[in-house]
């Protein structure tokens, strides 16, 4: 089943063809603030699943292609990410700060954007912004100190995720937390739709050029252990988002580009890149030249 947000924060369920609005079941209105109705849906999904399945059979809904899709979880308790989680990416970045050495880091929740939003480049002369192709794990229930063998029980579903990054030596969180720097979508595919989380293909194109391609079997820290490690330090809550890390092939994007990400059996989204006029500050005043390791 696909779980999504659409048309000014409405909650929907989808079979891939139509969308049925279930906002009323969770007290969600377009002006609701903070927008945490989806967190409640995720938390209570088990209690509503049979009802959702019946609604998808009985209700006409509206065509999926007719709605404006929004980022699935705009207000997670935590947006967590793992750095350098593929050996080929570690090689191209000449990095020893692997995910199993560094652990996770946090990005600003305000960097989240949707599958039909623009990626806005900040006005930073002398800096490149790079794409990073990733998968989003959406946590389904509260947990702490979760064992790896139990970790998949805490994964509600999966989504496509882009981790946009300003290249430089400054604080990683700052370089990755600009608005629109974490597009997620186009929806959440519930975990039961993914036969083997250890064997998920993903690809990224800029315009028509394939730049990144990987499979979750190549992860340094796999999905089970990502959840376990994160929960060893921090209580996980329904709606928390974990970004899995990116493979080799990161490169700059420019205004006018279109970035497309596809995760097998999860979804595909294409986002235009535009030049913004905001974002300049003293931290990024010095130019930085990105040199790919040989």
Q: What is the pTM of this model?
A: 0.96
pLDDT in tens, the chain (294 residues): 999 999 999 999 999 999 999 999 999 998 889 999 999 999 999 999 999 999 999 999 999 999 999 999 999 999 999 998 887 776 766 666 677 878 999 999 999 999 999 999 999 999 999 999 999 999 999 999 999 999 999 999 999 999 999 999 999 999 999 999 999 999 999 999 999 999 999 999 999 999 999 999 999 999 999 999 999 999 999 999 999 999 989 999 999 999 999 999 999 999 999 999 999 999 999 999 888 775
In 3D space, the residue among 2, 84, 99 whose CA is nearest the CA of residue 45 turns out to be 2
Domains in the chain, ordered, with CATH?
2-70 (no CATH), 79-279 (3.90.850.10)
> Which residues, 6 or more positions from 17, have their beta carbon under 8 angstroms from its beta carbon?
63, 64
């Amino acid at each position: 089943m696909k779980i999504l947000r659409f048309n000014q924060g409405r909650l929907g369920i989808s079979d891939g063809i139509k969308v049925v609005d279930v906002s009323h079941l969770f007290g969600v209105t377009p002006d609701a603030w903070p927008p945490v109705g989806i967190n409640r849906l995720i938390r209570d999904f088990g209690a509503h699943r049979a009802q959702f399945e019946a609604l998808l059979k009985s209700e006409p809904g509206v065509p999926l292609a007719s709605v404006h899709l929004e980022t699935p979880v705009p207000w997670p308790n935590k947006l967590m990410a793992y750095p350098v989680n593929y050996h080929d990416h570690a090689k191209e970045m000449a990095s020893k700060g692997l995910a199993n050495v560094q652990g996770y880091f946090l990005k600003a929740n305000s960097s989240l954007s949707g599958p039909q939003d623009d990626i806005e480049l900040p006005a930073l002369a002398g800096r490149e912004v790079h794409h990073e192709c990733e998968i989003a794990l959406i946590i389904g229930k509260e947990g702490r100190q979760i064992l790896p063998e139990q970790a998949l029980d805490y994964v509600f579903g999966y989504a496509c995720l882009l981790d946009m990054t300003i290249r430089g030596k400054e604080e990683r969180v700052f370089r990755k937390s600009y608005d629109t720097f974490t597009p997620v979508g186009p929806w959440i595919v519930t975990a039961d739709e993914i036969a083997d989380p250890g064997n998920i293909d993903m690809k990224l194109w800029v315009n028509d050029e394939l730049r990144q391609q990987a499979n979750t079997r190549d992860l340094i820290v796999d999905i089970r252990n990502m959840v376990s490690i994160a929960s060893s330090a921090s209580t996980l809550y329904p709606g928390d988002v974990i970004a899995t890390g990116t493979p080799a092939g990161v490169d700059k994007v420019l205004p006018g580009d279109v970035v497309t990400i596809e995760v097998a059996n999860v979804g595909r989204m294409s986002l235009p890149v535009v030049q913004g006029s905001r974002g300049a500050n003293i931290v990024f005043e010095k130019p930085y030249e990105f040199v790919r390791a040989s």
